[in-house]
Chains A and B, each alone.
Chain A
Amino acid sequence: MKRRKLDMASVPGKAAVGVDERFQVSTPLRKLLNKVFPDHWSFLLGEIALFSFVVLLLTGVFLTFFYEPAMTEVVYNGSYAPLRGTPMSAAYASSLDISFDVRGGLIMRQMHHWSALLFMAAIVVHMLRVFFTGAFRKPRETNWIIGSLLFWVGFLAGFTGYSLPDDGLSGTGLRIASAIMLSIPVIGSWVTSSVFGGEFPGDIIISRFFIAHVLLVPGLLVALISAHLGLVFKQKHTQWPGPGRTNDNVVGERMFPRYALKQGGFFMVVFGVIALMGGLFQINPIWYFGPYEAWVVSAASQPDWYVMFLDGSTRLMPAWEINIPIGDGYVIPPLFWPTVVLPGILVGLSTLYPFVEARRLKDTRSHNLLQRPRDVPERTAIGAMAVSFYVVLTLSGSNDVIADKFQISLNAMTWAGRIGLLVLPPLAYYVTYRICLGLQQHDREVLAHGVETGIIRRLPDGRFEEVHQPLTAAGHDGHGELDYVGWVVPKKMNRLGALGPAVRGFFYPIEKPAEAPVSPGHPPVEPRPEREEIGSGESRR
């Protein structure tokens, strides 16, 4: 019998047909491969958060192999000599073992910590980008809310993880957390006692935090991140205004291959930077802090950066205690306001903002084009107000260190924070508003009169004036008429290609003709051709 010859080249194609016959995937796959993404550097901030989260999962799984979530008292007998013979919790001892007795354990711990800090930082910066460009507007309010929740769930993930080593510093943080829960009116003592399984610190909190940190909170994060990305995919990304870009289209690149390659490359870069940080920069050296003991703390006990704004608000809060003289008397401690009420207000304000703004502007349309911050002075000023509020709180979270390093009175720092918290946000609002108006005005001026050339001309009557290069042919009144389209206005002659090309190249200058001004990152866009021109079955190019 003759053996049929196997044609290797046709195997993948046949296999693909076989798969499609069974699962009908070719059309959805084509749609995925073809999906168009707009590109701008500011769109990659959220991706840093996503990629850090992947690194967190990878390094976190490694750490669970060696970490022991127990508060059983053991006597340390590991490699780190200064602590040998010290009684401590099994959690702290195993964290020391990860740092000293597990090969490569320290870099994993440090990468885990750095990527957590980066995760939170990227979330905040991404949120600022979304806010200042108006990307949260209809139809994307849901994703804005999911994003704000991601910050707080990330906060929870960070805090539970930070507490797990059970070292002197994190134990103090846990102590403060218990005091915060305790401060809630009516139910505070019951909440604290239930969470800690009795009076602080009890002997169960570390194992409860462990399961929260490795299962419950990451599960929630994964769910929220999936929903976040799913909505971005479904609703399609926003884009900046520019040539050919409208509210009804997406101008960019198809996802495969170039866009996906860039994403993949960027992930490896983020991963690489985290690896460098984890190896080269020390973070949270728990062996210096010793085990947690209720009576030990040192000056300069700062939490991780994303908790510092709450630490700051706690420090700035005046000692206003509310006494309710009923029966034996009841108390609302001052701690309640900056640590429970303030975060509650912040969550409420941030989640409601898209609806408040839409209501105020009576705006019910869908927006897929971004706005330049200067074009919406009110929102930008509100954002600046929020940022200054946050920065004052965060700085106040380390006001003892600032006082120490700059030789300022500690009390003066506290008072500066209290006053600054009230005075700076309105000031930031006003200044930002004026700056936005000024920038707007300058854009219009350039559109009307042209770009400053830097050439000073003397007029016959002795006056001097600067020559302006109009952006368009002069109209009937001698000025060009150009409408502002919500995108960058060229303000330098180089942008117009009027000057010689800049010298490029490292060893050899690469001569290159000046390019015409284009929207960043993209060649000029031709209008979309009408389909009617195209005859069926014809090859065309």
Chain B
Amino acid sequence: MSTQTEHQAPQGPEPLDVHDPRLSRFDIVREGARRDDIEIVHYEEQVVPGSRAERRLTRTVASFFLLTGLAATAFLAVYIWWPWEYAPGSGGDKYYTPLLGLTLGLALLGVGFGILTWGKKLLPKEVSIQDRHVEDPDAPESRKITGETMLYLADELGVKRRPLLGISLLAGLVPVGAVAAAPLVGGLISNPHKNNQMFTTGFAPAAGKKIRLVREDGRPIRPADISAGGQLTVFPGIEHGVSNRHADSPTLLIHLRESDAQKSREANQRIGHANFMWGNYAAYSKICTHAGCPASLYEQQTNRLLCPCHQSQFLITDNARPVFGPASRRLPQLPIEVDEEGFFVARSDYTETVGPDFWERP
């Protein structure tokens, strides 16, 4: 023990003999702190033992703990007996979670404030000073020793004298590292262009048969189903067409007013999309070309389609060109017509890539 202390406090004289019966417990505590380079420079009781202040604080702490007991019991009672099963309407079950939160919160706050009051008000205040040893005088020497030890390790291994060992070890380890990574990369990797999936949607004609436009419930749509100025979200009439398996297929079918339809047709013709519309009906992809959210807020007066995620706005009467916001590409248009039974069908798949942009999008 004595050697250790000498090492820790070389500047000090003899340490205290902690077995001296005349020492108080605090003396020993203070001596212990000194051996850790800590000096307790100020130590002061906050309350006089036996005083009114002490009794008052003790009562405060005790009542906090008792509050915890009460609140925790209340929590258990609520948890067990309160009707908790969800029922429509405004029944008592709507108070279940708030009551649990209230009782649990009070219980925990009770313990918390009880402990805080105990620690902050009843315990003696102190100021201790501990040395940081920012500049340890032994540091350069010990760095030197450790450095030399490590260099000596390298000497012992003898990689310098026997370079083949190092080279062969490297040659062996690199492939082993690759082996560790290979299953993860190989297992996860998945070709994005399998089945040309990034460039096709559910509207691609299957076996030469054109795909019908259907509603959310799967029913096909007749032109008369949408009044002028109205719009409807439509899906490919195939199996699972109305599901997230065809997350790139949702399309907005819009019945434009006569004047808007005229503008729209002219715009279509300018970019070689003549006959993409059928009558006054036009169909545009609902998947925003910016980040893939459904661009679903259609403003009838201005014929603008707004994406609520990042506020890109597309002008439907101008080939759904982006007119505001971060989107840089127009919404692809689905060429539509009406089949012999009078239902809307897609004449072909989209001619442009649907959904958010990516590197190899042509």
Contacts and interface: CB of A to CB of B under 8 A. Distances in A.
Are these two chains actual partners, yes or no?
yes
Interface of A: 27, 30-31, 34-36, 73, 79-81, 100-101, 103-104, 106-107, 110, 172, 175-176, 178-180, 182-190, 192-195, 197-201, 236, 244, 247-254, 257-258, 261-262, 264-273, 275-280, 292-301, 311, 314-321, 328-335, 338, 366, 368, 399-400, 410-411, 414, 522-529, 531-532, 534, 536-537, 539-541
A101 B113 contact: no
Interface stretch (B148-156, B172-180, B258-266, B293-301): B293-301
Contacts of A332: 359
Interface string B127-169: 1111111110000000000000000000000000000000000
Given A179-B290, A276-B102, A321-B357, A268 B115 contact: yes
Contact of A248 (B35, B134, B287): B134
Main secondary structure of the interface of A (DSSP, over half): mixed
B250 A249 contact: no
A265 B112 contact: yes
A172 B309 CA distance: 9
A197 B190 contact: yes
Given A293-B244, A536-B14, A523 B127 contact: yes
Given A268-B111, A272-B107, A540-B27, A523 B125 contact: yes
B359 A185 contact: yes
A319 B111 CA distance: 55
Given A27-B4, A30-B36, A189 B198 contact: yes
Interface in B269-313: 286-287, 290-294, 296-297, 308-312
Contact of A271 (B112, B114, B328): B112
A268 B112 contact: yes
Interface residues of B, number: 113
Given A249-B131, A262-B119, A539-B27, A106 B97 contact: yes
A416 to B, nearest CB: 13
B293 A297 contact: yes
Contact of B247 (A188, A294, A315, A522): A294
Given A254-B128, A265-B115, A528-B41, A180 B109 contact: no
Contacts of B24: 539
A314 B4 CA distance: 62
B287 A319 contact: no
B17 interface: yes
B25 to A, nearest CB: 12
Interface in B69-120: 79, 84-88, 96-102, 104-116, 118-120
Given A190-B192, A294-B247, A536-B14, 14 more contacts: A104-B79, A104-B100, A197-B188, A258-B126, A277-B101, A279-B102, A295-B250, A298-B308, A300-B308, A314-B326, A331-B359, A331-B360, A334-B328, A528-B39
B358 A188 contact: yes
